[in-house]
Every structure is written in C-alpha cells, then in structure tokens.
Amino acid sequence: MAQVVQRENHLSKLYEKYRKKAVRRFILGGICMGIQFLSMPLFILTFGLSNLITMPIFLFGIVCMMFGVINYNKARVYESGLEGEARSEGVLSGLPDSYYVFPSIDIEYQGKKSQIDHLVVGPTGVFVIESKNVKGCIVGSDSDKDITVYKTGCKGGQYTARIYNPAKQVATHVYRVSGYLKEMGINTWVQGIVYFTNPESDVCLESDRIPVFSQSEGGGKELYNYILNYENNSLDEDEVKSVVRAIEKALKKNDSYNRGNQDRKQDMVHLGLSDQRFMRRQMLNQQIWEQQMQQMIDQQLIDQQLMNQQLMNQQLINQHIQHAMNESIKASTPFDSGGYLMGPGVNPSDTAAHISMMNNMF
C-alpha cells in the first residue's frame, strides 16, 4: 500500500460550511412560515389586520428558504468533489509502498497557488492527478478552454453545461509544481493526469499531452497501471525522498500560514473586549471635547453680541452729544432764530443790524 499523507481536505471545509448554512436557513425559514400558518385564527379574529405583522415574517421565511436552497446546491457540488477525490484516492492508495500520495495540497509558485487533488511521488516519477466527478457525456479537446457536458434530467430533458477544461487546469498545476521543485533545486519531469471518477460519465476528451481516464471505461485500473509502468522519468530512492521533503516543506509552510491566520483571529477575539472599551472611551472623550468646543463657540457668540451692543450704545451716546453741541451753538449765536437765513420770513435788515451790533461790540 502506498504511503498516504492524510490531511484535512479543503473541500470538506467548504462542504460543512455551506451545509450548515443551508440547515440554519431552512430552520429559520420554516419557523417564519410556520408562524404565518399558526396565526390563521388571529387573522380571522382581526379581520386580516394581523397580516400587517405576519406577512413580512412569512416573506422573510421565503427568502431564507431560497438562500437555503442556494447553499444546499453549493454543498452538493463540494460533496460531489469529495466523492470523486475519494474514488481517486482509493485507486492511488493501492500503489506499492515506495509511492507517496499527497491528497488535497496547495503548491505556490511565483505568488500564485494551485489546489491539487492528488500528487503522487514514486520510483516512476512525479504525477499530478485532477479528479472530476462529472456525470453525463463530456466532449472537448485539450486545446479548448471549456468543455461541454451533455446531461439528461430526471424527466428525460436534455441540457448542456460548460466547465473549465480539466486538461488545461492540470497543465497549470504541473507548471507550478515543476517550478516549485526547481526552486528547491530539483529538476524532474512532472506528469499531469485527468481522471473522471463518475461511473455514469461518457468521456470524449481528446488530449495528446495529458492522459485522460474514465471510471466508466475501467479508468481506475488504467490509471493505476499508467503510474506503475510510466517509463519517461525514473527516480531513485534518494530522489524520491528529496521530492517528498520538498512537498512536505510546502505543506508545513501552508499549515503554519493557516495556523498564523487562526492565531491572529483568536488574538482579535481575545482583544475584542479591550478594543471595544478603548473605542467607547475614545467616543466618550470625543463627545466631551465636542461639548467643550460647543460651549466655547457659544461663549464667543455671547461676547460678540455684547461687543455689538456696546458699539451701538456708544454710537447713540455720540449722536446725543453731537446733537447737544449743535443745540448749544445755536443758542449762543445772536442771530434771528438760529443764525443766518434760518427759515422763511427772515428780514435781511434785521440780520444786517445784528451784524453791525456785533462789530461794534468786538
């Protein structure tokens, strides 16, 4: 039996995530819709007025059920992927003890990461296997970006779907694995393989560079024999161990990165309370500062109003003083009714007489 390096599958995480989401939304939607049906007596007693409350709850329940269906379908997709990888692992685990099988691993090269279903290292070389659990008739070639899947529905209806070409997908994985090994000082050929694991699939995928196997055509046995009898590249025991160490180093790097993210999340949880207190304190200080600033602004407005009032009072005082001075001057002038030619009916001879008297006095 091959040495299978067991690790947590990323598909299982996604499957559990969307399955739990679907269950929660189905439960919440069922409760909301149940409230609507249980409130029917209240609907009769209130002549339909209770619908103003229960109808929004019922509509919210329908929305929850719709999101539940969406999450359930996503969970089904990931579950199908898990089933396909399990079938592939069942075949690969039957290889001799000199082979190492790495399921569900991430290899990063040039800042980009490949999620590889299975990577096999053994005396006959290094292999990257892409598993597809697709049902139906699959048609395409290795030069196509997408391939076509023809399916038959439950009621006999025919429909088609387009999926990304797994031959191109595994070619990208091969490029990154080969580049990563070269960075680690290992120059070796990496062979890509596509394996359709669904027994109800009919595969017509033409590929010259990437071998394609189908479970419906005895692909499991053919995959096993292909790896075991591969002659284009051979590795001795030391070379196999070097490749295995390089792959394990990549796994440890990814695991430490994931653990680091988890530790940072835990630290954020632990620091959450103190952060909230700090934020509340900052908000309180901000409110106090704003109140103080508002008081200063109000005081400045009051001072400005007082200054304006004082200026107005000073202007009035000045006007009164000026008026009093004018009246005083008029009263001390020996002219008829306030001086020269003040008003109608002034006698010029009287004015001249007054001027003559003033000249005699001075």
Query: What is the per-residue pLDDT for 337?
Result: 45
Rounded to an integer, what distance in angstroms lies between the CA atom of residue 282 and that of residue 299? 26
> What distances in angstroms separate CA 56 from CA 21, 32, 44, 203, one per listed residue?
22, 9, 18, 49
Structure confidence at residue 295 (pLDDT): 66
What's the token pair of residue 131? 């598993």
Residue at 290 is within a domain = no
Q: Which residue has the higher pLDDT, 35 or 145?
A: 145
Q: Of 94, 109, 125, which residue sits at a domain end?
A: 94
The model's pLDDT over 233-262, given as tens digits with 9 standing for 90+, comes to 889 999 999 999 999 998 888 765 454 444
pLDDT, tens digit, 9 for 90 and up, residues 110-158 = 989 999 999 999 999 999 999 998 888 999 988 889 999 988 766 667 7
Q: Is residue 48 predicted with pLDDT exceeding 90?
A: no
> Is residue 69 domain-shared with residue 113, that is, in the same domain?
no
Instruction: Look at residue 201 in the predicted model and tell me its pLDDT.
Output: 86
pLDDT at 336: 45
Residues 197 and 78 in one domain: no
The whole-number pLDDT of residue 257 equals 45
How sure is the predictor about 263, in pLDDT bands with cuts at 50, 70 and 90? very low
Structural domain includes residue 36: yes
Tell me what pLDDT residue 274 has.
47
Tally the C-alpha atoms within 13 A of residue 256's C-alpha that lie toward its C-beta: 6
Counting the structural domains of the chain, the total is 2
Residues 77 and 110 in one domain: no
| 119 occurs within a structural domain | yes
- Is 129 in the same domain as 253? yes
Claim to verify: residue 145 and residue 45 sit in the same structural domain: no
Higher-pLDDT residue of 356 and 39 is 39
336 within 8 A of 351, measured Cβ to Cβ: yes
Q: Which of 43-47, 99-103, 252-256, 285-289 has the lowest mean pLDDT?
A: 285-289
- Residue pair 210/193 in contact (Cβ under 8 Å)? The answer is yes
Identify whether 308 is part of a domain: no
Q: Which of 282 and 326 is assigned the larger pLDDT?
A: 326
Q: In this structure, are 117 and 248 located in the same domain? A: yes
φ and ψ at 303, to 5 degrees? -60, -40
Query: What's the pLDDT score for residue 285?
Result: 62
Mean pLDDT of 334-348: 47
Looking at the fold, whether 116 and 185 belong to one and the same domain comes out as yes
Mean pLDDT for 8-23 is: 83
Confidence of residue 304 (pLDDT cuts 50, 70, 90): low
**What does the pLDDT read at residue 298?**
66
Q: Mean pLDDT, the chain, as a whole number?
A: 79
Asked whether residue 348 is domain-assigned, the answer is no
Q: Could you give the maximum distance between any two Cα atoms of the chain, in Å? A: 152
Main-chain dihedrals φ then ψ at residue 93, nearest 5 degrees:
-65, -15
Helices 10-38 + 51-92 axis angle, to 10: 160
* Res 303: pLDDT: 62
Query: What pLDDT score does 116 carry?
Result: 93
What share of the chain in percent tops pLDDT 90?
33
Who wins on pLDDT, 8 or 193? Answer: 193
Same domain, 241 and 153: yes
Choosing from 223, 257, 291, the residue where a domain stops is 257
Among 96, 95, 125, residue whose Cα is nearest residue 236: 125
Q: N- to C-terminal Cα distance for the chain?
A: 146
Which of 226, 257, 288 delimits the end of a domain? 257
Helices (H), the chain: 10-38, 40-45, 51-92, 166-183, 219-228, 237-332, 348-361
Residues 61 and 113 reside in one and the same domain: no
- Res 75: pLDDT: 87
Q: Which domain holds residue 31?
A: 7-94
At 276 the pLDDT is 58
Residues 62, 108, single domain; the answer is no
pLDDT band of residue 296 (cuts 50, 70, 90) is low
The reported pLDDT for the residue numbered 270 is 43
